[in-house]
Amino acid sequence: MIRLTKKVFRLTGIATLFAGLSFGQVFAPATCAASAAATIIRAEGTTEQVSPLTITCTAPAGSASPAGTVSLQVFLTPSLPVTSKVLSSTSGASEAVVTVYDTTGAALVAQTAGTYSSGTQLSATVSGSTLNFTGIVVPALAAAGNTYTITVDNVRVDATFLSVGSTVSERALLSDSHGSVVPAALAPTAVAFVQNGLGPVSLFKSFTTAVAGDFPKVVGATAGANSYVICSVGDPQTDAVDYSRALPGSGPGKSLAFVVRVGENFSAAFHVAAQEASHVSTTLASNSVTGGTRVVLNFTNVPTGVMLLVPVDSIATSTSGAVLRVNSLTANTDDAVTTGTGLTGGRGLAAVPISGGAGTAEFEIVTEDAHGMDRFDIPVFVIYSANSVEGSSAPISVSANFGSVSADAIPNFVVGSSTNTVGGGTFSVCSTSLLFPFVTNQAGFDTTLLISNTSSDPFGSNGATAQAGTCSLNFYGTGAPSPANVTTSDVASGTSYVQLLSNVAAGFQGYMIAQCNFQYAQGGAFLTNGLGLGGRLSAGYFAGVIPDTNQVARSTATGETLGN
């Protein structure tokens, strides 16, 4: 009786194990192998999604394989952090999931056995660089050679831990106590290669509009930026904006300064929001995608009084069908800024907030060409009022990097090795340089120096703009003071600076160049030998005006004619 009972239990267990399979078949666990089509991920990204890992399980020759449950661990090599979002603080379920598929690609088995299951997907718990899946339900394979796949997907990693050119691999460890698969440590499989996503930023001053009303595009290879002499007259709040002129030296002080070119370092480095989302949707929770790839332009060394503007309208790529649009900036309310014709075609611009000479403009990819190398030409406009800007010894600097939304958002980036800085335009102050060809305070002589600020005049709208500033007196000859330049007091508009040479450079004889940081300076000198009734008049003359070296270099080729 006891033997009969044992035999009944034994037969019952066999029947349960092989239920649904044909009588007379030989049963053996399936053998599994891993594969993947490795993708390229961005070295600057902290939430980069690697390719799915596919584990194909095949019934061995001459056998069928039973159904069962499988445990799976996936180890990342190198050991870098898994950043797939945790969707449940209670269970630890993450957006990294495993799904079992049949040969047609349809989800095959409802995953109901695991603690973190949801429909046909089973969610992973994450520990450092390891993903753990418990209780994966796998189906029976009715005949030798039949297959199903276990696909691990939605795995995100922090690629900033890796150097450019690195390979990310996944190694899967299968375990099974039901005889459905052969327990095995599968061979490491490459799932991603690491490259900079953002190409080096370039800056150009040669541009055109291929289509009327379009924003300018770079033509040729004229690198660099326009430099500005801040001598133009105009109020940026009232004057019409002249976007069609490249240099504003004699205009209203508003112009296209340069064009910044940014682009992908590899195809599909830029993503729209849907492409940044998880490969496989999960019903467990949202995967926290905040938008498409964002590119940030960083401006530094912006002089006080200079306004920078960028397009608020869409910017089409110069190479494919992608579109970039400014994010978080609103169009300027000044009609003169937003409705100018010329290079903008009446399309809006937005002011870049500047603080301490620095500011940023963030752009988002709204349309992407997955097959082309997207490249965008972003025009940068400047506005300034006459004589309201200090000269800059260093040019405006521009760099670009991917936008970092927040530490817990997708996508998220840090400033990576692809970031570089290029020099934009410099701003030179309005100035007048006066040449005093001979001044002396030797042999009983002295020289009266006269500099008048004539920026006040009776000519109304056709006259000068009232300005004020100091002059630097530079001495060349014998007995020059140390240091060899002296700064005057502030010379107000409509006033004159009068000083004896003996008071600023006693014992000097030679020539002097006065650099005044305002326009419309006029000068003269009066040389005397002795004072009062016994003094003898020596000479008097007007100082020559040296052409503004910010605009025209002094040249030895043709000589120099000084004007007054």
The DSSP symbol for 396 reads: -
Three-class DSSP category at 35: strand
User: Distance of CA 271 to CAs 51, 191, 313, 469, Å?
Assistant: 16, 19, 19, 52
Please indicate whether residue 341 or residue 29 has the higher confidence score (pLDDT).
29
pTM: 0.72
% of the chain beyond a pLDDT of 90: 39
78 prior amide bond cis, ω within 30: yes
**295 neighbors 361 (Cβ within 8 angstroms):** no
The residue assigned the tokens 């005093």 is 436
273 membership: H or E segment, kind and range: helix 273-276
The residue assigned the tokens 């496989």 is 280
pLDDT in tens, 501-530: 999 999 999 999 999 988 889 999 999 987
458 prior amide bond cis, ω within 30: no
Buried b (16+ CB within 10 A) or exposed e, 339-356: ebeebbbebbbbbbebee
- Of the pLDDT bands very low, low, confident and very high (cuts 50, 70, 90), residue 2 is very low
The reported pLDDT for the residue numbered 458 is 93
- Of the pLDDT bands very low, low, confident and very high (cuts 50, 70, 90), residue 335 is very low
Residue 35's CB is within 10 A of a number of other CB atoms, namely 15
The reported pLDDT for the residue numbered 115 is 56
pLDDT at 194 over 50: yes
Enumerate domains of the chain plus CATH numbers. 29-195 (2.60.40), 202-429 (no CATH), 432-546 (2.60.290.11)
Please indicate whether residue 423 or residue 60 has the higher confidence score (pLDDT).
60
Give the count of alpha carbons within 13 A of 179, CB side only. 11
pLDDT at 287 over 70: no
Burial of 538 (0-12, 13-18, 19+ CB in 10 A): middle
The reported pLDDT for the residue numbered 24 is 53
* Cα–Cα distance measured from residue 304 to residue 541, given in angstroms and rounded to the nearest whole number: 38
| Whole-number average pLDDT of the chain | 79
* Cα–Cα distance measured from residue 121 to residue 136, given in angstroms and rounded to the nearest whole number: 9
Give the count of alpha carbons within 13 A of 213, CB side only. 7
Among residues 323, 33, 341, 321, which one has the least CA distance to residue 187?
Answer: 33
Give the count of alpha carbons within 13 A of 348, CB side only. 14
